[in-house]
Amino acid sequence: MLGKSLPEMSDNFIEIDHVTFGYDASRTILNDLSLRFQRGKVTAVLGGSGCGKTTLLRLIAGVHAANSGRVVVDGEVVDVRDRAQLYRLRRRLGMLFQFGALFTDLTVYENVAFPMREMTDLPEALIHDLVLMKLNAVGLRGASHLKISEVSGGMARRIALARAIALDPELIMYDEPFAGLDLISMGVAAKLIRTLNDVTGATSLVISHDVPECMAISDWVILLAGGGRLVAQGTPAELMASTDPEVRQFVRGEPDGPVKFHYPAREMADDFGLGVLP
């Protein structure tokens, strides 16, 4: 049911339990946020820039600790001070970074092989076959010999996806997977996310502000607003049919509504004509 209450789910892989977080005392990024992500499903977290979507991923991965509340992954509370726990967690996690984060000095093949070489003791012959399998899954087996400088932006995003699934993770987190892609590449990326989730049984968390793609591939959709505030959550159909003004404005891309374009500021008359920098 569309709303701010937690969905009734029998098997949650991730639980965000009353989490509050800010990088400093002057600004709260996430405010008393509670969410659940069901095992084996694709969940999209939508919202405008600066609402805390990427910060949420960092908390799940143990990059930062919550100021208050708990982050629970597969029944275990994430403790950023426990290095052994973080290694176990990250071994089970695949991450598609917002800008790919590929190693530009390595070839396409070497980028995908990197986590296998770092995290496993697999023989090189087996790594070779696994890398080609992952690249084939994203349609780039024939590009394995290329340098990163020789591939397009859309290809780079698919290479990053192949690297993210290199270790067959149980949890795959996608940070803005559709940003900067043309319409064809965007459609391919969306289909890959859905297919990989269904084939591998992984839990997928998609952070984005691209509404059509997320609505097409997600099982559950969460909408956040500034300050990490939960606006609504539900199935894609429920959010698209919502009459809530804030939900409608975001999913329909309307310029006028509760969400303002301008960052909060003083009155214009107070800033102009004074000859003094703020």
pLDDT tens sequence across 138-158? 888 888 899 988 888 778 888
Q: What is the mean pLDDT of the chain?
A: 82
Cα distance between residue 189 and residue 156, in whole Å: 11
Q: What per-residue confidence (pLDDT) applies to 1? A: 41
Which two three-digit tokens encode residue 32? 């008393």
Cα distance between residue 134 and residue 187, in whole Å: 19
265 — pLDDT class (breaks 50, 70, 90): low
Q: What is the share, in percent, of the chain residues with pLDDT greater than 70?
A: 86
Q: What per-residue confidence (pLDDT) applies to 75? A: 87
Cα distance between residue 60 and residue 216, in whole Å: 25
Domains annotated on the chain, with CATH: 12-236 (3.40.50.300)
State mean pLDDT over 30-41: 91
Cα distance between residue 2 and residue 235, in whole Å: 8
> Looking at the predicted structure, is the pLDDT value of residue 227 above 80?
no
State mean pLDDT over 92-103: 81
9 — pLDDT class (breaks 50, 70, 90): very low
Q: What is the share, in percent, of the chain residues with pLDDT greater than 90?
A: 23
Which two three-digit tokens encode residue 9? 């789910």
Q: What per-residue confidence (pLDDT) applies to 277? A: 54
Give yes or no for a contact between 193 and 137, defined as CB atoms under 8 angstroms apart. Answer: no
In this structure, of 57-66, 114-123, 219-228, 249-258, the range with the lowest mean pLDDT score is 249-258
pTM here? 0.78
Q: How many CB atoms lie within 10 A of CB 4?
A: 11
Helical packing angle, 124-137 and 153-164, nearest 10°: 130
State mean pLDDT over 156-179: 86
pLDDT tens sequence across 178-225? 877 778 778 878 888 898 888 888 899 998 888 888 888 999 999 988
Cα distance between residue 66 and residue 23, in whole Å: 10
